[in-house]
Amino acid sequence: MKNKTCILHGECIVFRSSLPKNATPSKVEGSYKIVADSEVTGNHHVVDAPAGVSFFEANGTTYMQNEVPTQIRCLIADRHTEIELPVGTWEFGTQKEYDYIANELINVRD
């Protein structure tokens, strides 16, 4: 896809994407889906899941198709600003950082 819109939300990275052919529906428990775990503080990055928002999994990656705008936010509201995700198909990942001591790329941790 040529239009690779990228949104950064803490350690979570969100790309405008397309749904892979092998994607399978992902169950949502409650009113939101965790799209980036907070390994340290419990302040998970979540996307609200009102009617018109569907989540999918493919190859260990979470995708979302939303027919209505929705928000990515943190469970602890004052950690990161809430960002609106316009209608579309989105792919969620984790930002990387370079650990100079270990001499490797690692996931950004919160």
pLDDT tens-place string over residues 40-63: 666 788 999 999 999 999 999 999
CA 87 to chain centre: 15
The pLDDT-based confidence of 76 (bands split at 50, 70, 90) is confident
Q: Rounded to two decimals, what is the model's pTM? A: 0.81
Average pLDDT, integer, range 68-81: 84
The pLDDT-based confidence of 2 (bands split at 50, 70, 90) is very low
Dist CA 32 CA 73 (whole Å): 10
pLDDT at 96: 64
Long-range contacts of range 23-28, CB-CB < 8 Å, 24 or more positions apart?
Answer: 23/56, 23/57, 23/58, 23/63, 24/56, 24/57, 24/58, 25/54, 25/55, 25/56, 26/55, 26/56, 26/57, 26/62, 28/55
**Domain positions in the chain:** 6-107
